[in-house]
């Protein structure tokens, strides 16, 4: 059975930053070979998508980065910059660990 894991990146408030974060995430997924994951015997395709609003502005509008949510686990990250993509992909998707320094509470 194949499912999809999604990384939704907000581009509402910070259009350029959000688009650059999405691009960097896609690049890292390919580079790290994590576009398809196998979790508990099930294949998961990983997709990065931009969206208009995640309703997280109050948490990250003061910082330089964008907000994103990883589904299906619904983990929300804030102030994510393109430079964070490699670590986020490696830790969250590769190791299954939350990247605490970017986690929105």
Question: What CATH number is associated with residue 14?
Answer: 3.40.30.10
Q: Which residue numbers in the chain have pLDDT < 70?
A: 1-2, 59-62
In the chain, the number of structural domains is 1
Q: What is the pLDDT of residue 59?
A: 65
Residue 38 lies in domain = 2-102
Instruction: Please tell me the distance from the alpha carbon of residue 30 to that of residue 23, in angstroms, as a whole number.
Output: 11
DSSP output for 14-55: -HHHHHHHHHHHHHHHHHTT-SEEEETTEEEEEEEEEES--S
Contact criterion met (CB below 8 Å) for 48 and 7: yes
Write down the pLDDT at residue 92: 95
- pLDDT the model gives residue 57: 72
Q: How many Å apart are CA 74 and CA 24, to the nearest integer?
A: 20
Q: For position 61, what pLDDT does the model report?
A: 65
């Amino acid at each position: 059975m194949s499912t999809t894991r999604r990384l939704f990146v907000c581009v509402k408030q910070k259009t350029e930053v959000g688009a650059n974060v999405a691009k960097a995430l896609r690049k890292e997924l390919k580079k790290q070979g994590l576009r398809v994951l196998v979790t508990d015997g099930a294949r998961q395709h990983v997709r990065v998508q931009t969206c208009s609003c995640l309703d997280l502005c109050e948490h990250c509008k003061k910082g330089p980065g964008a907000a994103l949510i990883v589904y299906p686990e619904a983990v929300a990250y804030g102030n994510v910059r393109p430079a964070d993509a490699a670590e986020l992909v490696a830790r969250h998707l590769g190791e299954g660990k939350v990247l605490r320094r970017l986690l929105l509470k």
